Amino acid sequence: MKVGYYPGCSLSGTGKEYDLSIRKVLEKLDVELAELNDWSCCGATSAHATNHFLSIGLSSLNLFQAQKQNLEELFAPCAACYNRMVVAKDELGKGTETAKKISALNNGESTAKVNIINIIQLFEKAGLENISAKTKMNLKGIKAACYYGCLLVRPFSITKFDDAEQPVAMEKIISAVGAEPVDWNYKVECCGGAHSIAHKEIVVDLSKKIIDDAVKHGANVIIVACPMCHSNLDMRQRAMKDTAAIPVLYLSEFVGLALGIDSKELGMNLHFTSTEPILEKVLVKE
């Protein structure tokens, strides 16, 4: 299977372990990535917060590029990038004044044939049975809190993915590799997003509530699908008082562990909060 790949800005910097683990895992699952040529920032957060035309236009550039490369599907692993892409495609399809201006700047081209997918959808396409069959490690005893954040499944009218309040798709992947997903309350709550630098106190407060609830419900690891969510939940734990430390893994890292890939190859040594408590629980299948 071959799919277009939009890594986005974070995966070459603060979220490079996400990129590392994605490439390693998809190689094991026989999924070929065709990186988008000359990709550019999707405008997540900064453009979206200041200029609607720019926020749609920046994401549209990548959609038009995917169309030129004849990519029918474009994989955007970052939840924010995925969200901006599907929102841009939705607006272009509605033919709004913004859409008409953007289309005119791109010689009237359409992006109707480009399907944007997130990491959960990509794993679903690779096949949960396929993932389960290739699982080499015993993850029994690992209880995972699947954290979707506020962008991966919303707005449902546009994403049309899972459920906006009680999503379960990530839990199915966790179960497929032999771990136990926990039932908890904060799986779609906001972690504070890009406020991490300018308003650290907001992020620490929101992220602490997420982590505390995960621990309260028996989780010993939190699974995420967004570089910003990972940064907030992983890095900001040091600033939280009376909060138990808990590893925060990308979904691709967790699946990679199950497939028997070395933790350093997955980038797990690059985290702020130690991943050793989880590594100690992972055993080779008998």
Residue 52 CB neighbours (<10 A): 13
d(CA 286, CA 282): 12
Q: Given the structure tokens 């990129």, which residue do they identify?
A: 19
Phi then psi for 5, rounded to 5 degrees? Answer: -130, 120
Each residue of 21-61: pLDDT tens digit? 999 999 999 999 999 999 999 988 776 667 889 889 999 99
Which pLDDT value is given to residue 112?
A: 64
Phi then psi for 227, rounded to 5 degrees? Answer: -60, -40
Which pLDDT value is given to residue 13?
A: 85
Which pLDDT value is given to residue 51?
A: 86
d(CA 31, CA 14): 24
Which pLDDT value is given to residue 286?
A: 56
For residue 191, CA distances in Å to 78, 145, 169, 203, 218 come to 15, 14, 20, 6, 20
The segments of the chain whose pLDDT lies below 70 read 47-49, 110-112, 196, 198, 286
Residue 155 contacts by C-beta under 8 Å, 6 or more apart in sequence? 164
Residues 77, 15 contacting (CB under 8 angstroms): no
Which pLDDT value is given to residue 95?
A: 85
Which pLDDT value is given to residue 172?
A: 98
Which pLDDT value is given to residue 12?
A: 85
Q: How does the average pLDDT of the chain come out, rounded?
A: 93
Which pLDDT value is given to residue 47?
A: 66
d(CA 29, CA 26): 5
Residue 211 contacts by C-beta under 8 Å, 6 or more apart in sequence? 222, 233, 237, 240, 243, 244, 246
Single-letter code of the amino acid located at 67: Q
Residues forming beta bridges with residue 144, ordered by sequence position = 181, 221
Which pLDDT value is given to residue 284?
A: 79
Single-letter code of the amino acid located at 280: E
Ordered by where they begin, the domains of the chain are 2-119 (1.20.1050.140), 129-284 (3.40.50.11810)
Q: Residues of 168-188 as b/e, b for ≥16 C-beta within 10 angstroms?
A: ebbbebbebbbbbbbebebbb
Residue 104 CB burial class (10 angstroms; 0-12, 13-18, ≥19):
exposed
Report the candidate in 76, 55, 56 with the shortest Cα–Cα distance to residue 66: 76
Tokens (6 digits) for 226? 């967004």
